[in-house]
Copies of this chain bind each other. A is one copy, B any other.
């Protein structure tokens, strides 16, 4: 029986969007006949002639083009070859896409796909997780799916939303994650913006997103051996953040660890800890903790990389410390 990867889910969601909505087109480098650097658009150019277009190496103009097309009623999806290159389209994203609706009343329904996160040997410029940078800006929705099913439904939601969406798809999950079948439609399980309790637990809450959900789950599994029962919350979207679900979880467990693959300063973990400290102070039995990447560019050598980012074992360590506080 054939199983569906996280990458394939993204491809299938784009295929469905193209099929169901004539306003959708995809624009990015090498995404046409070639099917994209990661093959996320494989065969789509053939199936939808003229609607999956190779772009020049011009990230600023790629986003600008998407914005202009959205203004005229289209639903463009832009593929960045790597999240890291979105810095070259940064200005259009944060200053034009994010502000358009507030300034003019015209919505800007674009999706910018960012192949994100670290993989061994990818180094400082093909490994970045930029969700916190974009989430800082009001007007941008930032999605960070952690499962094959979410990758599929959230891509469909992203295309349907009236707002610009930064879609952070994790490269490490592309091939590692598989599912037997996909949901029929978005919202079947959870509505947009709602976090998931991936693993219910009693003793502490780990809030994570994207690839870190799986490190958190493995750590939770490891801690069962110590007799602990850890709850894992998958944020799914980091803007908006589903503070209610987090607070409800912390209310049950009294302890919070937030894990992010990006750097700590101002990251998702900082934002979640700040929210819980502010809104759920009384729920906490111990100081909330966060675990992030080390404070350097993402290193090239797999041995360094494996230490740079949080892993099941470093999450488990942090949890053990938290449980003793």
User: In the bound complex, how far is the Cα of B297 from the Cα of A103, in angstroms?
Assistant: 8
User: In the bound complex, how far is the Cα of B299 from the Cα of A99, in angstroms?
Assistant: 10
Q: Is the CB of B265 within 8 A of A125?
A: no
Interface residues of A in 61-100 (CB under 8 A from B): 84, 87-88, 90-91, 94-95, 98-99
- Chain A: residues with Cβ within 8 Å of the partner, total of 47
Q: Beta-carbon contacts of A11-41 to B below 8 Å, as 1s and 0s? A: 0000000000000000000000000000000
Q: Is the CB of A287 within 8 A of B277?
A: yes
Residues of B within 8 A of A95 (CB): 84, 87, 124-125
Q: Which residue of B lies closest to A91 (CB)?
A: B87
Q: Is A139's CB within 8 Å of the partner chain B?
A: yes
Q: Is the CB of B269 within 8 A of A274?
A: yes
Knowing A273-B277, A273-B278, A290-B278 are in contact, say whether A297-B138 is a contact too (CB < 8 A): yes
The contact of A263 among B137, B262, B279, by CB within 8 Å, is B137
Residues of B within 8 A of A278 (CB): 273, 287-290
Known: A137-B263, A278-B287. 18 other contacts (CB 8 A): A88-B91, A90-B91, A102-B297, A133-B133, A136-B262, A138-B295, A138-B297, A265-B271, A266-B267, A273-B277, A273-B278, A274-B290, A276-B277, A277-B277, A277-B287, A281-B286, A281-B287, A281-B288
Instruction: Looking at the assembled complex, report how far the CB atom of A251 sits from the nearest CB atom of chain B, in whole angstroms.
Output: 14
Q: Is A225's CB within 8 Å of the partner chain B?
A: no
Q: Is the CB of A136 within 8 A of B88?
A: no
Q: Which residue of B lies closest to A99 (CB)?
A: B297
Residues of B within 8 A of A295 (CB): 138
Smallest CB-CB A-B distances: 6 pairs: A281-B287, A277-B277, A266-B266, A87-B91, A138-B295, A273-B274
User: In the bound complex, how far is the Cα of B94 from the Cα of A76, in angstroms?
Assistant: 27
Q: Is the CB of A87 within 8 A of B90?
A: yes
Q: Is the CB of B297 within 8 A of A287?
A: no
Interface residues of A in 260-318 (CB under 8 A from B): 262-263, 265-271, 273-274, 276-279, 281-282, 284, 286-290, 295-297
Instruction: Looking at the assembled complex, report how far the CB atom of A257 sits from the nearest CB atom of chain B, in whole angstroms.
Output: 10
Knowing A87-B94, A288-B277 are in contact, say whether A102-B135 is a contact too (CB < 8 A): no
Q: Is A239's CB within 8 Å of the partner chain B?
A: yes
Q: Is A132's CB within 8 Å of the partner chain B?
A: yes
Interface residues of A in 225-263 (CB under 8 A from B): 239, 262-263
Residues of B within 8 A of A132 (CB): 136, 266
Q: Is the CB of A296 within 8 A of B102?
A: yes
Q: Which residue of B lies closest to A60 (CB)?
A: B88
Instruction: Looking at the assembled complex, report how far the CB atom of A117 sits from the nearest CB atom of chain B, in whole angstroms.
Output: 16
Q: Is the CB of A136 within 8 A of B90?
A: no
